[in-house]
């Protein structure tokens, strides 16, 4: 290794195995190379009394004893960062691509058509323009790659599917996908109600398949329903819970059942509100009553518009099929609106009208 310039003695490297936290600060300001905040700067001492500075996304206390390998060193080298594949460029696909990119993850966004992801990129740029710093926008956009070829997903660590809520279409996709991406990649579906166990049957190595149900808008809603099938391995479940926590979200574990927790409770509620509307109560009165009486931030009809009336109907049909309970049969008004092309906020009209 060379000799000492002062005394000519031979220089030897030392190896450190144990580190103790001597200082820790929470860094709240992003910089170009370290744009995901907050992160922690640790001042560590090893067994020889040497000091080290390490970046971490995990919080420690002064005096904690740690192994250096256990520290995730963060976003400095993008290649070390988990790569996320997002399939589908609809409402959720776009939001997830943006969310992961803003959190420092490289994203590969898949759409069947070039127009699909061109539109998605335009929309994401528009959402991001609320951030004032154009440099920050560029950094986020640079993390999003797009592709029309499923085979490009071969090197992602986690893929999240967000295509239309159709069992057969999803099964076909997973069948193609699971042979293309790596054996160790975790395959997740963002389905809001379809049976995970049945989807799992189309997947090679189904123990790595899991439901990861995000809520709209992704950046604001902290819940992730983690839905496991009878095949899902303990490792996959634990990985997902840990990963969701790292994203700053709150995971709740649900065994596979139609509608999971949120939609199974929500859909009869929305359906009942639609029936009230058909009985002649005004939409404003229904939504205002729920907001004021139950302290909900928005009423069920406005929420149905936000979710999409077609999506609501599709979830209700899934629930009806699963539980064979008349509560889940969509009120006729849904079909009246859908047949006129009024799907909710995304088409400019649903139970309410929206400026586009």
Catalytic residue among 56, 111, 190, 192: 192
Q: For other proteins, which is the closer residue by CB, 139 or 167?
A: 139
Look up 45 and say whether it is catalytic.
Answer: no
Q: For other proteins, which is the closer residue by CB, 23 or 332?
A: 23
Q: Tell me how far, at minimum, the Cβ of 78 lies from other proteins, in Å.
A: 13
Catalytic residue among 213, 229, 271, 283: 213
Catalytic residue among 244, 263, 283, 331: 263
Look up 9 and say whether it is catalytic.
Answer: no
Q: Tell me how far, at minimum, the Cβ of 131 lies from other proteins, in Å.
A: 11
User: What tokens does 217 get?
Assistant: 């808008």
Phi, psi of 266 (to 5 degrees): -75, -40
Q: Using CA atoms, how far apart are residues 226 and 221, in angstroms rounded to an integer?
A: 14
Helical residues (DSSP H) of the chain, grouped into ranges: 91-102, 114-128, 134-142, 167-180, 196-200, 234-246, 262-278, 283-294, 300-307, 309-323, 332-339
Of residues 43-72, which lie at the interface with other proteins (CB under 8 A)? 43, 51-55
Look up 8 and say whether it is catalytic.
Answer: no
Look up 339 and say whether it is catalytic.
Answer: no
Of 100, 314, 268, 310, the residue nearest 188 (C-alpha): 100
- Site membership for other proteins, residue 30 (CB under 8 A): yes
- Site membership for other proteins, residue 34 (CB under 8 A): yes
Of residues 121-140, which lie at the interface with other proteins (CB under 8 A)? 133-136, 139
Q: Using CA atoms, how far apart are residues 242 and 77, in angstroms rounded to an integer?
A: 21
| Residues sharing a CB contact under 8 Å with residue 11, sequence separation 6 or more, in sequence order | 1, 2, 3, 4
Q: What is the DSSP string of 34-49?
A: B-S-SEEEEEEEETTS
Q: For other proteins, which is the closer residue by CB, 51 or 275?
A: 51
Of 347, 345, 350, the residue nearest 306 (C-alpha): 345
Q: For other proteins, which is the closer residue by CB, 134 or 332?
A: 134
Contacting range for other proteins; rule: CB under 8 A; set: 26-34, 88-96, 281-289, 292-300: 26-34
Q: Using CA atoms, how far apart are residues 335 and 339, in angstroms rounded to an integer?
A: 6
Q: Tell me how far, at minimum, the Cβ of 10 lies from other proteins, in Å.
A: 21
- Site membership for other proteins, residue 28 (CB under 8 A): yes
- Site membership for other proteins, residue 25 (CB under 8 A): yes
The residues that are catalytic are 192, 213, 225, 263
Q: Which parts of this chain interact with other proteins (CB under 8 A)?
A: 23-35, 39, 41, 43, 51-55, 73-74, 76, 133-136, 139
């Amino acid at each position: 290794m060379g000799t000492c310039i002062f005394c000519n003695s031979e220089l030897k490297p030392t190896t450190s195995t144990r580190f103790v936290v001597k200082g820790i600060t929470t860094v709240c300001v992003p910089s170009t190379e370290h744009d995901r905040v907050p992160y922690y700067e640790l001042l560590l001492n090893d067994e020889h009394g040497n000091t080290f500075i390490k970046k971490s996304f995990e919080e420690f206390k002064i005096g904690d004893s740690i192994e250096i390998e256990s520290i995730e060193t963060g976003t400095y080298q993008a290649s070390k960062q988990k790569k996320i594949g997002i399939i589908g460029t609809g409402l959720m696909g776009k939001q997830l691509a943006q969310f992961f990119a803003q959190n420092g993850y490289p994203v590969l966004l898949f759409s069947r058509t070039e127009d699909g992801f061109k539109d998605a990129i335009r929309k994401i740029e528009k959402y991001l323009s609320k951030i004032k710093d154009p440099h920050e926008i560029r950094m986020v956009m640079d993390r999003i790659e797009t592709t029309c070829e499923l085979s490009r997903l071969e090197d992602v660590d986690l893929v999240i599917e967000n295509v239309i809520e159709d069992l057969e279409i999803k099964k076909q996709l997973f069948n193609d996908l699971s042979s293309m991406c790596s054996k160790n990649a975790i395959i997740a579906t963002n389905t809001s109600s379809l049976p995970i166990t049945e989807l799992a049957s189309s997947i090679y190595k189904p123990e790595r398949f899991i439901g990861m149900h995000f809520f709209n808008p992704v950046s604001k809603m902290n819940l992730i329903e983690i839905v496991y099938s009878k095949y899902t391995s303990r490792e996959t479940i634990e990985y997902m819970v840990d990963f969701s926590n790292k994203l700053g979200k709150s995971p709740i574990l649900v065994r596979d059942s139609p509608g999971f927790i949120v939609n199974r409770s929500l859909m009869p509620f929305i359906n009942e509100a639609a029936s009230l509307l058909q009985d002649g109560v005004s939409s404003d009165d229904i939504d205002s009553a729920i907001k004021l009486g139950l302290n909900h931030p928005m009423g069920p009809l406005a929420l149905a518009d936000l979710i999409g009336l077609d999506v609501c109907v599709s979830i209700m049909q899934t629930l009806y099929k699963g539980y064979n309970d008349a509560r889940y049969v969509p009120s006729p008004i849904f079909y009246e609106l859908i047949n006129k092309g009024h799907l909710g906020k995304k088409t400019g009209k649903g139970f309410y009208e929206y400026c586009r």
